Structure 1
Amino acid sequence: MTIQIIKTTPFDDQKPGTSGLRKSVKQFKKPDYLQNFVQAIFNTLENVPGSTLILGGDGRYFNREAIQIILRMAAATGFGRVIVGQGGILSTPAASNLIRQYQALGGIILSASHNAGGPEGDFGIKFNGANGGPAPESMTEAMFAASKQLHEYRIVPIQPIPVDKLGVYQLAGMQVEVIDSVSAYQTLMESIFDFDKLAAMLSSESFKMRFDAMHAVTGPYAHQILEQRLGAPEGTVIHGLPLADFGGGHPDPNQAHAKELMSLLYARQSTMDFGAASDGDGDRNMILGKRFFVTPSDSLAILAANARLIPGYRNGIAGIARSMPTSQAPDRVAAKLGIPCFETPTGWKFFGNLLDVGKITLCGEESFGTGSDHVREKDGLWAVLFWLNLLAEKQDSVENIVRSHWAEYGRNYYSRHDYESIDLKDANALVDALQAQLPTLAGKPFGSGLTVSAADNFTYTDPVDGSVSKNQGIRILFTNGSRIIFRLSGTGTQGATLRVYLEKYEADTAKHNQDVQEALADLLNIAQQVARITEFTGREAADVIT
């Protein structure tokens, strides 16, 4: 085997964020940029010789070229086998499942998730460890350190692997196995959900739904599982063909970007009973009923409250975890069930330790991510199947299920306001000024009867390994349970995104029909006043409200 050793120069911007390294396609296509980061990943791994690596992505622009480069570098590093999704396609939860199924050393997932694709869009790469979950912070820090000291990378000569054709190939002594991206994932779903009941409902003329794959990775999975296996009518899956630019759309499953799905479910004469969408790499979900939106926070709480109705969770759940900005609706379910509820920083890797030791079964984030212990990633299609199984069991509408939940547990009014592409200096100045105020806020009255009970920058101590994560988001907590959270996002590639989260709890069922933004108007005014958002950013209002 001929190994080429290529001299290179370190890049100073290869620090992974909460979900790996995300940059523009143009940045990744610079000479040696991708190669440097892949070598930095490989340099941090132990026990590589002869081990198995899982490889795939969401099909976005540059995915195919990147896979061929990574295969050549994996061969040069000494991997014994690389398992690749057909066409280079693997959803993030499917990749997590394969890592666990094949007892791989880990996996490389190529995706920038919900970020836009195409030549002018974004690309991303992250490493998932042997448990199937995202690399822990200690490992991503080691990758960054390795990238700054890199002066060469190892690669074997070009020998393209036909990734569209199933089969086993040899590359410089390394076995490359191209597999069906969907089959193993479908088998996993069949072990969790009642596919007989799902098939009976989905093939019935009385039930109508649409799943929007947003021209992203879940298209093949949804076609195979929903339409072919479960008998939903052809056309149930829309935008099901993965495209390198996502059809010019933005593969973010929310009300702002899934416009066609929203119009189908919210039309005055809509005949749809259920709607759902997923994102670029298949790990997020949006759930809709007829003219009714289910917040991700409520979704996690409702799935937890009804988990025993699902075959895979019939024996109950061990616990729940939510990211700190996610609403406290799941906490109320956990309290009633007598199980723990953990509050973690944003980033799915923080759930991994809790899942691995069995402290939790279900987990979720407000950013449209929900999951369980079946894999170590959030899982969009799993959440859709969970909701469908719940509908089949309860024989009721999405809206009625949610309203019944509110009647029992109370309603957590909740919204996220995103101020996008802010100059990084301005964003940091806003956060610094807000941080400086924190010691003075406790006890301070605001608005109509709101009083601050505490204000801090969230610190998390992992209950499993004792690691400490600081500065995870500024919290302003009120005596009545309301909250305002401020965070700078770690998933964008241009400027900074300021996320402002607003939450208000309402126990009175007579007050459960308020408009969300009206219910949260006082909190928004306080957030703008305290953080001086307009002063620092020049923005009068958020760019995206969910």
Structure 2
Amino acid sequence: MTGIFITAGPFDGQKPGTSGLRKKTAQFSAPHYLECFVQATLSAVGAKGKTLVLGGDGRAFGAEAAAIILRMAAANGVARVIVGRNALLSTPAASHLIRLHGADGGIILSASHNPGGMDGDFGVKYNIANGGPAPEGVTAAIHAETLRLSGYHITATPAPDLSQDGSYSLDAMAVEVVDPVSDYAALMESLFDFPAIRAMFARGFRMKFDAMCAVTGPYATEILERRLGAAAGSVMHGTPLPDFGGMHPDPNPTWAADLYGQLMAPDAPDFGAASDGDGDRNMVVGRGIYVNPSDSLAVLAANAHLAPGYAGGLKGIARSMPTSTAADRVAAALGIEAHETPTGWKFFGNLLDAGRVTICGEESFGTGSDHVREKDGLWAVLLWLNILAATGRSVAELMQDHWQKFGRTFYSRHDFEALPVASAEAVMTALRDRLATLPGTLVGNTQVTLADDFAYHDPVDGSESRNQGLRVVFANGARFVLRLSGTGTEGATLRLYLEQHSDTPADFARDPQEALSAVIAAAEGLAQISGITGRVAPDVVT
């Protein structure tokens, strides 16, 4: 070690979750807090002599955190750091740079779709050499280090200016500042039929992309407007701001209401999409039609062969357990593997690395493929555009075609946000205690066929992950899932996932909430969310 050693810590509560450590920005910017967590990370992964990628979504405290991390990396013997200009890198772009440069890992500064600003949230996540989020073994090692450290190493030398591309030195460590967009844009151009998409825009195709004042703005502007020829102004809120312009950068109909309203208007553009704080999530809307993320995964999987990068077909499809089973029906029709994993993109990594799957998705607006090891919002938007260009169909027509072939899986997620932790846990405990008695019981007009706390056996490395969400499945094909979210920083978020499949064409036009009314009632009757929490309605419905 070089530099100086600052005695500090340990701090309680620095256990990384499914997407690293997320806390209030004020907490991370408090004296020594960020430094102790970064030291735990560098120590746990054995950073000496390694090459790391560094960047984030531009939220408040990101630039300051990047400078601190560079100084700590130098003091901990890191050989080289590749950092995005102005410390900006979308999460999928960071994953790509790790893989492109053969780096040993990367540190991503983001709290994803959580609000930013000094009154908002901040996060630090470590990604491993395959470009994906650290698996549980690594996050456990980081947590163990947070409990036993007595301080951190840092150099007194200032970090280099990150506003200009180029090669710099920080003590004995090499620092390479790179354009955050160019390598990612080149990757997208290698996967999709850019000439066909350009021709579609040239024929008058109109779209709106809401970057939500977050990191995807520069990527979308370069790719959609400059390289593909979308009209100037097609990218909304395209300048990243430390507080995301006061927006909640979560791409769903609630928080992207402006975009959603434009697509539902009489003079709507042909296509709409949005991405989140760090660029790994997406929402897709067609003229007059909203595409839920579970359906989006299924449609993309069924039509991926229309894009040059996937012309050889898919090896398999993976989805998180709460995501609807719509993609499973596509996998069955294609004769390929279908995998159901816990929530958290890290669970897809082994399947992707082993060549078992090509496309993955989560109901929480995340979709991706084996091109990186993260979900990728702009990638999903470009695959949609490629499919629209290749088929000449509208989004509504593609959805109707899909439902005619595979049936419609009605799906919705109800979020109960900022609940008292004890109240949310009481809901989970009460239902968990009843699971063993539920199979065979009649609820409404249908019988419970399965009730469990989901456990996952990784088919690649044999690892087990238990207590991943409560499932109740009914004989008529309906099901609901209940779990606590691990991405919030205030109170607890209880998420209720609802699903009902239909093969009857006359049903396809039904409103999803109406089509799900019976399973919504069943979930309330069994889980007693209103009775226990006092909440009569969810805060967010997607």
Query: Are 1:59 and 1:217, in contact at CA under 8 Å, matched by a contact in 2?
Result: yes
Partner residue in 2 for 1:432: 429
Mind listing any 5+ residue stretches in structure 2 that lack a counterpart? none
How far the C-alpha of 1:357 sits from its partner, in A, is 0.6
Partner residue in 1 for 2:216: 218
Query: Equivalent residues in 2 for 1:71-220 (5 A)?
Result: 71-204=70-203, 206-220=204-218
Query: Are 1:370 and 1:378, in contact at CA under 8 Å, matched by a contact in 2?
Result: yes
Separation in structure 2 between the aligned mates of residue 307 and residue 220 of structure 1, nearest angstrom: 26
**SS across alignment from 2:55:** strand
**SS across alignment from 1:306:** helix
User: Does 2:328 match 1:331?
Assistant: yes
What letter corresponds to residue 114 of structure 1 in structure 2?
H
**SS across alignment from 1:260:** helix
* Structure 2 counterpart of 1:388, from 366, 385, 389: 385
Query: Are 1:75 and 1:173, in contact at CA under 8 Å, matched by a contact in 2?
Result: yes
- Identify if the C-alpha distance between structure 1 residues 2 and 354 changes in structure 2 by more than 3 Å, giving closer, same or farther: closer
Query: Equivalent residues in 2 for 1:387-426 (5 A)?
Result: 387-426=384-423
Separation in structure 1 between the aligned mates of residue 148 and residue 268 of structure 2, nearest angstrom: 59
Q: TM-score, normalised by structure 2?
A: 0.99
What letter corresponds to residue 295 of structure 1 in structure 2?
N
Partner residue in 1 for 2:264: 266
Query: Are 1:203 and 1:233, in contact at CA under 8 Å, matched by a contact in 2?
Result: no
**SS across alignment from 2:371:** coil
Query: Equivalent residues in 2 for 1:17-36 (5 A)?
Result: 17-36=17-36
**SS across alignment from 1:293:** strand
* Structure 2 counterpart of 1:231, from 215, 229, 232: 229
Separation in structure 1 between the aligned mates of residue 323 and residue 406 of structure 2, nearest angstrom: 16
How far the C-alpha of 1:158 sits from its partner, in A, is 4.1
How far the C-alpha of 1:291 sits from its partner, in A, is 1.1
How far the C-alpha of 1:249 sits from its partner, in A, is 0.5
What letter corresponds to residue 505 of structure 1 in structure 2?
H
Separation in structure 1 between the aligned mates of residue 370 and residue 390 of structure 2, nearest angstrom: 22
Query: Are 1:107 and 1:128, in contact at CA under 8 Å, matched by a contact in 2?
Result: yes
Query: Are 2:45 and 2:138, in contact at CA under 8 Å, matched by a contact in 1?
Result: no
Separation in structure 2 between the aligned mates of residue 194 and residue 389 of structure 1, nearest angstrom: 6
Separation in structure 2 between the aligned mates of residue 173 and residue 203 of structure 1, nearest angstrom: 51
User: Does 2:249 match 1:251?
Assistant: yes
**SS across alignment from 1:407:** helix
Query: Are 1:28 and 1:34, in contact at CA under 8 Å, matched by a contact in 2?
Result: yes
What letter corresponds to residue 36 of structure 1 in structure 2?
C
Separation in structure 2 between the aligned mates of residue 423 and residue 203 of structure 1, nearest angstrom: 52
Query: Are 1:487 and 1:499, in contact at CA under 8 Å, matched by a contact in 2?
Result: yes
Separation in structure 1 between the aligned mates of residue 106 and residue 539 of structure 2, nearest angstrom: 35
Separation in structure 1 between the aligned mates of residue 48 and residue 440 of structure 2, nearest angstrom: 59
Query: Are 1:97 and 1:375, in contact at CA under 8 Å, matched by a contact in 2?
Result: yes
Partner residue in 2 for 1:296: 293
How far the C-alpha of 1:535 sits from its partner, in A, is 2.0
Partner residue in 2 for 1:7: 7
How far the C-alpha of 1:401 sits from its partner, in A, is 0.2
Query: Are 1:53 and 1:106, in contact at CA under 8 Å, matched by a contact in 2?
Result: yes
How far the C-alpha of 1:271 sits from its partner, in A, is 3.5
What letter corresponds to residue 460 of structure 1 in structure 2?
Y
How far the C-alpha of 1:160 sits from its partner, in A, is 3.1
Taking only the aligned residue pairs, the percentage that are identical comes to 59
**SS across alignment from 1:359:** coil
What are the superposed Cα offsets for residues 450-479 of structure 1, whole Å, 9 maximum, x if unpaired? 210010000000000000000000000111
User: Does 2:539 match 1:543?
Assistant: yes
What are the superposed Cα offsets for residues 409-448 of structure 1, whole Å, 9 maximum, x if unpaired? 000000000000011111111111111000110011112x
Partner residue in 2 for 1:16: 16
Partner residue in 2 for 1:461: 457
Q: Bigger CA drift: 255-264 or 274-283?
A: 255-264
How far the C-alpha of 1:50 sits from its partner, in A, is 2.8
Separation in structure 1 between the aligned mates of residue 381 and residue 54 of structure 2, nearest angstrom: 25
* Structure 1 counterpart of 2:505, from 505, 509, 514: 509
* Structure 1 counterpart of 2:529, from 523, 527, 533: 533
What are the superposed Cα offsets for residues 69-105 of structure 1, whole Å, 9 maximum, x if unpaired? 0000000111111111011110000000000001001
Mind listing any 5+ residue stretches in structure 1 that lack a counterpart? none
What letter corresponds to residue 358 of structure 1 in structure 2?
G
Separation in structure 1 between the aligned mates of residue 2 and residue 511 of structure 2, nearest angstrom: 65
Separation in structure 1 between the aligned mates of residue 263 and residue 157 of structure 2, nearest angstrom: 49
Query: Are 2:58 and 2:240, in contact at CA under 8 Å, matched by a contact in 1?
Result: yes
What letter corresponds to residue 12 of structure 1 in structure 2?
D
User: Does 2:481 match 1:485?
Assistant: yes
**SS across alignment from 1:221:** helix
How far the C-alpha of 1:152 sits from its partner, in A, is 1.5
Query: Are 2:430 and 2:527, in contact at CA under 8 Å, matched by a contact in 1?
Result: yes
Query: Are 1:100 and 1:131, in contact at CA under 8 Å, matched by a contact in 2?
Result: yes
**SS across alignment from 2:526:** helix
Q: Bigger CA drift: 375-384 or 257-266?
A: 257-266
Separation in structure 2 between the aligned mates of residue 33 and residue 71 of structure 1, nearest angstrom: 16
Query: Equivalent residues in 2 for 1:333-352 (5 A)?
Result: 333-352=330-349
**SS across alignment from 2:144:** helix
Separation in structure 2 between the aligned mates of residue 158 and residue 112 of structure 1, nearest angstrom: 28
Partner residue in 2 for 1:518: 514
Query: Are 1:203 and 1:230, in contact at CA under 8 Å, matched by a contact in 2?
Result: no
> How many residues are aligned here?
542
How far the C-alpha of 1:24 sits from its partner, in A, is 0.3
Query: Are 1:317 and 1:360, in contact at CA under 8 Å, matched by a contact in 2?
Result: yes
What are the superposed Cα offsets for residues 341-392 of structure 1, whole Å, 9 maximum, x if unpaired? 0000000000000000100000000000000000000000000000000000
Partner residue in 2 for 1:451: 447
Query: Equivalent residues in 2 for 1:310-321 (5 A)?
Result: 310-321=307-318
How far the C-alpha of 1:173 sits from its partner, in A, is 1.4
How far the C-alpha of 1:203 sits from its partner, in A, is 3.1
How far the C-alpha of 1:2 sits from its partner, in A, is 5.4
- Identify if the C-alpha distance between structure 1 residues 2 and 106 changes in structure 2 by more than 3 Å, giving closer, same or farther: closer
What letter corresponds to residue 236 of structure 2 in structure 1?
I
Partner residue in 2 for 1:471: 467
**SS across alignment from 1:146:** helix
Partner residue in 2 for 1:441: 438
Separation in structure 2 between the aligned mates of residue 373 and residue 223 of structure 1, nearest angstrom: 24
Separation in structure 1 between the aligned mates of residue 341 and residue 183 of structure 2, nearest angstrom: 30
Query: Are 2:2 and 2:77, in contact at CA under 8 Å, matched by a contact in 1?
Result: no
Query: Are 1:2 and 1:157, in contact at CA under 8 Å, matched by a contact in 2?
Result: no
What letter corresponds to residue 302 of structure 1 in structure 2?
V
How far the C-alpha of 1:202 sits from its partner, in A, is 2.0
What letter corresponds to residue 520 of structure 1 in structure 2?
L
